[in-house]
Amino acid sequence: MPRRAAISGTGLIGASIGLGLAREGWMIRGWDPSSVVLDVALELEAINTKAGSFDELGASDVDLIVLAGPPAAVVDQVTRLETSALVIDVAGVKQAVIAAARPQRFVGTHPMAGREVTGPRGASPSLFRGAGWVVVEDGAARPDLAAVEDILRMLGAEPIRMTAAEHDAAVAMISHLPQVLAAALANEAADRTRALDLAAGSFRDLTRVAASDPALWVDLLAKNAVEVNAAIADLQGRLDKVAGALAEGKTETIRHFLDRGRSIRSSLAPPVIAVRVALADEPGELARVGRAFGASAVDVRDLQLRHAPHGGGGVLTVSVRPGEAETLRTALEDEGLLVVD
């Protein structure tokens, strides 16, 4: 008999979980406060049936209940939910959720994966492949922790055990603070005369998450305000030291600051070589790149497409394993594409 799950919140994360579970043969019932979002999730087969309300969903005879709404909604739901099923949430803050949780078999979690887009149409069963997924130990029974970790591995994720306090402090620095910084940089640049006319790769990289849904982030930041403010204060102190070094002409201090940052960033991913190819603004360019990938059989680790600011094509950066770059360059050139250094 197929295992059964209920998902509250069928947006990007909830629908991606649904698609991943469905691929493994689970039957899924879903509910969302937006009937439009819920209908799309059903259309995409992220769920099999719809519940008429959250209370109806919570009363479902299922093995697993996933609470995939924003933090404020999850905090409300975990105070109301009475069930013998295993319950997890995926909210981006954990202490507030854990403090409110009532279900007997509750495990707080947080997938470290997502996209700038929201809604089920951006969902994918592969969204969590290779991603870390925090599993909060606070108050959870060992068998339930193990069961949740098995499900997360089935979805392609790597479980990471933490306490709720450790999680909230960590995400304040690596997720919530970058969101604030991206928005601050975008706002600051927009207020500088003609700065955005020159915005290119580095600016787009640093402000990518500023395109995320503000409604989601207001809730996350508010629920983790203490940790986010501490992270902002810590970063401000570091920036003040950099400003002081610049004012005093301490170039070695600046060099050490930049070298350490480069070293830390390099340690976050396995070594790769970037191959850049210029693309014309015409049909068939990406098809030629695809043929080159097939011919070279390289392991593509990352792709970044940078459009020219004022039209006229762009540059595709392909990251591959060391030793495979020359093979890819040759295949791209065989397709008549221009490889740029």
- Specify the CATH number for the domain of residue 37: 3.40.50.720
Expressed as residue numbers, the domain containing 86 is: 4-162
50, 185 contact by CB (below 8 A): no
Buried b (16+ CB within 10 A) or exposed e, 82-110: ebebbbbbbbbbbbbbbeebebebbbbbb
CA angle 271, 273, 279 (to 5 degrees): 145
- Do 240 and 172 reside in the same domain of the chain? yes
User: What pLDDT is attached to residue 177?
Assistant: 97
Distance CA 221, CA 97 (A): 14
- Do 137 and 252 reside in the same domain of the chain? no
Letter for the amino acid at 110?
H
- Do 277 and 217 reside in the same domain of the chain? no
User: What pLDDT is attached to residue 114?
Assistant: 81
Within a 10 A sphere around the Cβ of 158, how many other Cβ atoms? Answer: 14
User: What pLDDT is attached to residue 215?
Assistant: 84
User: What pLDDT is attached to residue 1?
Assistant: 54
- Do 111 and 133 reside in the same domain of the chain? yes
- Specify the CATH number for the domain of residue 214: 1.10.3660.10
User: What pLDDT is attached to residue 312?
Assistant: 65
The two beta strands, 273-279 and 158-162, are unpaired
Final residue belonging to a domain, choices 266, 289, 311: 266
- Do 27 and 131 reside in the same domain of the chain? yes
> Which residues neighbour 23 within 8 Å (Cβ) at sequence distance 6 or greater?
125
- Do 192 and 109 reside in the same domain of the chain? no
Would you state the torsion angle of the CA atoms of residues 209, 210, 214, 218, taken in this order, to the nearest 10 degrees? 80
- Do 289 and 222 reside in the same domain of the chain? no
User: What pLDDT is attached to residue 267?
Assistant: 85
- Do 107 and 218 reside in the same domain of the chain? no
Q: Which residues of the chain have pLDDT under 50?
A: none
Distance CA 51, CA 215 (A): 25
108, 94 contact by CB (below 8 A): yes
- Do 220 and 108 reside in the same domain of the chain? no
The two beta strands, 132-136 and 27-31, are unpaired
- Maximum Cα interatomic distance, the chain, rounded to a whole number of Å: 71
Distance CA 242, CA 273 (A): 30
Q: How many residues does the chain have?
A: 341
User: What pLDDT is attached to residue 234?
Assistant: 97
User: What pLDDT is attached to residue 308?
Assistant: 67
Letter for the amino acid at 303?
L
Domain total for the chain? 3
Final residue belonging to a domain, choices 249, 266, 283: 266
User: What pLDDT is attached to residue 314?
Assistant: 85
Final residue belonging to a domain, choices 162, 193, 217: 162
- Do 22 and 79 reside in the same domain of the chain? yes
- Do 128 and 73 reside in the same domain of the chain? yes
Distance CA 66, CA 84 (A): 13
User: What pLDDT is attached to residue 247?
Assistant: 97
Tokens found for residue 47? 């769920």
- Do 198 and 53 reside in the same domain of the chain? no
- Specify the CATH number for the domain of residue 277: 3.30.70.260
